[in-house]
Amino acid sequence: MSDAARAGSSTGTLLVSLFFIVAGIVTLYDTTTYTDVDSKVFPRAAAILLILAATISLVTDLVRGARESGFGNGDWWRRLLLVGAMLACCLAMPLTGFLPAAAIAFLGALVAAMHERWTARHVLIYGVSGAVLMGGFYALFRYGLNVPLP
């Protein structure tokens, strides 16, 4: 990789990582004004994880350097489908609730990530694992983190 490509990639990683670290710190600060203890749990946990992940990304890029510049090779329709499924999930959640909206995001991500030929076995395994994951996240948010879900 050329020095110019590596420098551009490192600069981008640096800026994005710093943005997410600052966003996490701002979120942590904002939660100090919450009066309900249950309302603080999820934003604080998410902010701490955001700060940790951004710091790890920043340090890893500085130590090892970027592996490739730009978006790399791949199908654009898969990227658009993934982003579209996530946006559809966000728009559907107030109307349909958490589980149906999560199913939209899961199915969109699954189709975008599936490079092999679909078989009945794949549909069964991914369907069951998706239901378990979505149910687990619902239980975690609802009962473990006390986050009210739509």
Number of domains present in the structure of the chain: 2
| Encoded amino acid at 108, one letter | G
Residues 48 and 18 placed together within one structural domain of the fold: yes
Taking CA atoms, 61 is separated from 17, 54, 98, in Å, by: 10, 11, 35
The domain in which residue 117 lies consists of 76-144
Query: Distance between CA 110 and CA 33 in Å, rounded?
Result: 39
Residues 54 and 23 placed together within one structural domain of the fold: yes
Residue 141 pLDDT greater than 80, yes or no: yes
Residues 93 and 37 placed together within one structural domain of the fold: no
Domain boundary among the residues 40, 64, 88 is at: 64
Residue 3 pLDDT greater than 70, yes or no: no
Residues 55 and 20 placed together within one structural domain of the fold: yes
CA count, 13 A, side-chain hemisphere, 95? 7
Residues 105 and 129 placed together within one structural domain of the fold: yes
Residue 65 pLDDT greater than 50, yes or no: yes
User: Tell me, what's the pLDDT at 14?
Assistant: 85
Decide if 4 contacts 68 (C-beta within 8 A): no
User: Tell me, what's the pLDDT at 91?
Assistant: 94
Average pLDDT, stretch 11-17?
83
pLDDT classification of 92: cutoffs 50, 70, 90: very high
Residue 1 pLDDT greater than 50, yes or no: no
Residue 120 pLDDT greater than 70, yes or no: yes
Domain boundary among the residues 64, 93, 113 is at: 64
**Pick the residue with more confidence: 37 or 114?**
114
In a domain, 107, yes or no: yes
In a domain, 55, yes or no: yes
Domain boundary among the residues 43, 64, 85 is at: 64
Residues 98 and 49 placed together within one structural domain of the fold: no
In a domain, 83, yes or no: yes
Query: Distance between CA 14 and CA 146 in Å, rounded?
Result: 34
Percent of the chain with pLDDT over 70: 87
User: Tell me, what's the pLDDT at 76?
Assistant: 79
In a domain, 71, yes or no: no
What's the whole-model pTM score? 0.58
In a domain, 46, yes or no: yes
Residues 29 and 88 placed together within one structural domain of the fold: no
